[in-house]
Chains A and B, each alone.
Chain A
Amino acid sequence: MKRRDFYMAGFGALMFFDTLTQVSFKLSSSHAGVFLPEFSWLLKVFLNPWVWGAVIGYLGSFVAWMTLLKRAPVGPAFAVSHLDVVTVLIISVAYLGEKLSALQVVGALCIMLGIVFLSLSKENKNDEQDNRQS
């Protein structure tokens, strides 16, 4: 597979699974109602099929992430692994009927810009070497 196609498929899969996880979390918790520190609340959550969407999303994200890291540079990969913020926001507004205030939109833009800056940071090889224990 060409490098570009590999990145497109890998990053696409990662964003898809991360988004699936978050949307599934929301749908299963909404089904259970407002949080109560009781076993019955947890039971309601785990009896809802969407909670398994979150589990599948976690597993899919893990596989996509580990596959991507074989070839993708860690910096941009790290950024994209958090850019599910964008897709989750779109789905929240478009399909779950949530609304964002102007201030929250500005906040979202700051967070996205912050993620981009984190991805532009150079990986320091010394970080890895310093941390290894013999």
Chain B
Amino acid sequence: MSKLALLIWALNITVDTVGHMAFKYAAIVDHKTELGRWKSMLSSFPIWIGMACFVCEFVLWLAFLSIMPLSLGILIGSINMVTIMFAGRILFKERLDRMRVLGMTLICVGVALAGGFS
């Protein structure tokens, strides 16, 4: 994989993870009514960070696929599941049970093999 592809891939994963965390921050705001919850979500800063991240991700993924085969892109892009779970663990204290850790490990191994990082 070229240095440019590696850079775009790393940026894409970072932006994707930040976006998901921002949406999570926005989504956990509680309110008495569903309409009120949506209003407070849409007026919160994190949701707009999330949206900006997904716009960036859209362009980054297009750029990535312009220099990588789709089959390889989709495989090494799977690492986002691992980064999102790690971020969820750090920021939201989400639990990582054995099954999740095993799943994340297998995905890391798979990405390393597919991307030739091994």
Contact = CB atoms under 8 A, between A and B. Distances in A.
Interface of A: 22-23, 25-26, 28-30, 32-35, 42, 45, 51, 54, 82, 84-85, 88-89, 91-93, 96, 98, 100, 103-104, 106-118, 120-122, 124, 126-127, 130-134
In the complex, which of the residues A30, A54, A118, A122 has the most CB atoms of chain B within 10 Å of its own CB atom? A118
Interface string B71-112: 111110010010000000000111101011011111101111
Given A25-B61, A110-B106, A118-B81, A133 B30 contact: yes
Given A88-B70, A104-B75, 20 more contacts: A23-B70, A25-B62, A35-B62, A35-B63, A82-B78, A85-B74, A85-B75, A89-B71, A92-B70, A96-B71, A98-B71, A103-B116, A118-B99, A118-B104, A121-B100, A124-B95, A126-B95, A127-B93, A131-B92, A131-B94
A35 B73 CA distance: 15
Query: Could you tell me the dominant secondary structure of chain A's interface residues?
Result: helix
Interface residues of B, number: 46
A104 B74 contact: no
Contacts of A25: 61-62, 65, 70
